[in-house]
Amino acid sequence: MRVINKAIVKFTNLLPENIVYIFAKKYIAGKTLDEAIKVVKDLNSKGIMATIDALGEDITNKQEAIAAKDECLRILDAIEQNKLNSNLSLKPSQMGIKIDFQLAYVHIAEICERAKKYSNFVRIDMEDSSLTEATLELYKELRKKYDNVGVVLQAYLKRTLNDIITLRPLNPNFRLCKGIYIEPESIAYQSKKKVRRNFIEALETMFKNGMYVGIATHDEYLIKEAYRLIEELKISKDKYEFQMLYGVKEKLRDKINSDGHRIRIYCPFGEKWHKYSMRRLQENPNIAWHITKSIFFPN
């Protein structure tokens, strides 16, 4: 299956963008902010929250970083103007952290300030392990001034449990996910069983320490385990939410919602959708098979 998935990725790279968009659009909330707003309005009408992400990462040019920051400010303005139940997600490399740490800090601080004005929230996404330490340091610095900012931890990294304890004094707001980047065995668990085990242990640690957590997974086993922990530990519904990607396992999304749990959908948009889609496929070829099934076997 892995060989087939890699072949699908290679083949997809050769297709014209207009063909790729036929299937990619299921997972992208549009090419423009207006399209993303329509998607979020539809989700909100179903009682589902959202987080909007303007696609773009690995920026190495200061002007591009400034443009990305300005786009984030426009998103926050649009969320407020349209009274959407949505917050904002962004990537440190989008804000220029690979150029200069302080540049990224200044950009995200300005975004947090705008979000604070609107009583909104900013989530700092986690990228590959080359940026893990810098991202957490960035979060620590921002938390000195802003309480409306959160960060992401990845269950497949062996350092995650220690990071939870290290960040505990900040009263952190986490998104906990498995992680999708290809990382070496020295720093990341490679088996599904070990990643799942670390995810559950991390989630339990967050709950027991009173931390807010976005439980970000499409894994039904982990969702059942989260349900179990929520019931056993008597976790209040204002201390967690479930999170999923736009266009993925919508029936499961609706079940979580109907079960009375809050759920937030990650809604990426933008002209850089093609690069985003190809990166997701290259980083995790298993997604290729799910996409192929969704095209030919939609039900």
Which residues does 266 contact at the CB level (< 8 Å), separation at least 6?
50, 51, 53, 89, 216, 243, 244, 245, 246
Q: 254 catalytic, yes or no?
A: no
Q: Are 137 and 102 in contact (CB under 8 A)?
A: no
Tokens of 129: 């392990």
Is residue 175 part of the annotated active site? The answer reads yes
**Which tokens hold the place of 96?**
């220029």
Instruction: Kindly name the residue from 53, 114, 123, 125 that is annotated as catalytic.
Output: 125
* CA 117 – CA 110 distance, rounded (Å): 11
The closest of 247, 249, 242 to 48, measured between CA atoms, is 242
- 153-175 b/e (C-beta count within 10 Å ≥ 16 → b): bbbbbebbeebbeebeeeebbbb
Catalytic residue, from 114, 175, 196, 253: name it.
Answer: 175
Strand partners, 87: 51
With 0-12 CB in 10 A as exposed, 13-18 as middle and 19+ as buried, what is 14? exposed
User: What amino acid positions are annotated as catalytic residues?
Assistant: 125, 175
